[in-house]
Amino acid sequence: MTEQKKSCTLERAPYRDRVTQEAILWFTRMKQANLDFIGYESAEGPAYFERFTHNHDAYYPYHEETNLIHSSVAALEEDVNLSETERLVIVGQGPWTNCLNKEGQIIRAIVERSHARPKSVDFIEISEEFNAQARVGMHEYAKELGLDIRVRTYTGEFEKIANNWKPNGQTTVISTGSMIGNLDNAVQEDFPQAAVKELMNAFGRIAGRNGTIILGYDGNLDEVSNKRAYSSVDLSHFFYNMIWEIHTNSHGLSLRYLDDEGDYQDITKEQLMNGEIVRYKPVWKGHQIQHHLEFLVPVEMQADFKNPDLLRIADDLECRNKINGGLNFKTGSSLVAMTSEKFSDQDVSNAAKTSGLQPVKAHKDSNTGLCLHTFRVPAITA
């Protein structure tokens, strides 16, 4: 076997710069629901997320989607003719164990049921930790399946990677785990047509002409099961860790809380992880779960304007005046750290059509509303 491994990281601003920018936008409420990259790129965030998905049985978007893929593999193969796949691209695979249990089933189907075997498997992730796991894990999986295959990973923002993508060979793109539902900003409309269309455009560019797409997303509109899915200590720690990252890994920003004596004190990691400063709370908004962080004590964000990097970023955002002197948050106030959108297959089909994609079939789980949706990219695009 002549397996090769290659990694590529998108050129982008340093992590500390990006954390500072997003923290400013978040704390000033100029932008909400934009902290997910901190969770996945921080040193401890991936481990918190992996423990959450594995330990929390009520998190149906992982456990039940795994079952949906298992029961739908044959139908998916018929939809998009997996036997023609030469290049497999997996987007947002998350922890390798998750990927092996979900996308791994489709990889095995391609190998076991087709006359041709894929020549390469590419992974696109915002988290280098998850990509590192994929490089090692796919190498071992290829050995198990008897594959002579090239493994490549691309780390960075999906849309930016798609803009520079060069299609090569008959491509099947797979993205499960409702990645398209985790939008950069909280939206008010029931279906964010423009944002989803932009993502579908990106999937189409990755797949290329004659390519195929298997897209997983969540259509569950039941409030009780949604809240239950996200009520987990491990998920709380995933979010509290984002606050700690801002406190410790931003330029000139720090957080203090008001103690019982009326004095401001620096927060500690132990206080955050124990839920003494903020409380994670999933809030149902009818078509989305908003992941709120509610302040349990008065908190102030201090801005050190002696820090030249903070000044540079604040001036680039034209918001130095918004954070001059710091920001204060009262007990009971909250900020939205992430959102999980819930989509109908008809809405996604319509968005795909506006992107020039041809919807094939939506395979749905009747109990949860989870959907695996297949699409084709026409041989000739307008």
Domains and CATH numbers, the chain: 15-42+226-340 (no CATH), 45-220+342-376 (3.40.50.150)
pLDDT of residue 64: 95
pLDDT of residue 116: 64
- Please compute the mean of the pLDDT values over residues 261-274 and round it to a whole number: 95
- Please compute the mean of the pLDDT values over residues 325-333 and round it to a whole number: 93
pLDDT of residue 9: 80
Q: Which string of DSSP letters, residue by residue, matches 89-150? A: EEES--SHHHHHHTHHHHHHHHHHH-SS--SEEEEEES-HHHHHHHHHHHHHHHHHHT---E
pLDDT of residue 207: 96
- Please compute the mean of the pLDDT values over residues 268-292 and round it to a whole number: 95
- Please compute the mean of the pLDDT values over residues 25-36 and round it to a whole number: 90
Kindly report, residue by residue over 174-193, the tens digit of the pLDDT. Answer: 999 888 988 777 777 778 88
Mean residue pLDDT across the chain: 92
Please, which pLDDT band fits residue 34 given cuts at 50, 70 and 90?
confident
Q: What share of the chain is helix, strand, coil (3-state, %, to 5)?
A: 45, 25, 35
- Please compute the mean of the pLDDT values over residues 319-334 and round it to a whole number: 93
Question: Would you say residue 3 has pLDDT above 60?
Answer: no
pLDDT of residue 7: 81
Kindly report, residue by residue over 62-96, the tens digit of the pLDDT. Answer: 999 999 999 999 899 888 878 788 999 999 999 99
Question: Would you say residue 37 has pLDDT above 60?
Answer: yes
pLDDT of residue 115: 63
Question: Would you say residue 131 has pLDDT above 90?
Answer: yes
Edge-first strand order for the sheet with 253-258 is 264-266, 253-258, 299-303, 327-329
Question: Would you say residue 218 has pLDDT above 70?
Answer: yes
pLDDT of residue 78: 86
- Please compute the mean of the pLDDT values over residues 286-293 and round it to a whole number: 93
pLDDT of residue 336: 95
Please, which pLDDT band fits residue 356 given cuts at 50, 70 and 90?
very high
Please, which pLDDT band fits residue 2 given cuts at 50, 70 and 90?
very low
Classified as helix, coil or strand, 221 is coil
Helices 345-354 & 193-207 angle (0-180, nearest 10): 60
> Could you identify the residue written with the tokens 């950069």?
184
Lowest model confidence (mean pLDDT) among 162-176, 183-197, 241-255, 308-322:
183-197
* Contact of 169 with 150, CB cutoff 8 Å: no
CA-closest candidate to residue 157, choices 187, 179, 186, 134: 179
Please, which pLDDT band fits residue 1 given cuts at 50, 70 and 90?
very low
Question: Would you say residue 264 has pLDDT above 90?
Answer: yes
pLDDT of residue 382: 44
* Contact of 282 with 231, CB cutoff 8 Å: yes
Q: Which residue has the higher pLDDT, 1 or 340?
A: 340
- Please compute the mean of the pLDDT values over residues 343-356 and round it to a whole number: 95
In whole angstroms, what is the distance from residue 26 CA to residue 39 CA? 14
Pair of tokens at residue 379? 């041989």
What percent of the chain is modeled with pLDDT above 90? 79
Lowest model confidence (mean pLDDT) among 46-55, 75-84, 302-311, 368-377:
75-84
- Please compute the mean of the pLDDT values over residues 16-43 and round it to a whole number: 93
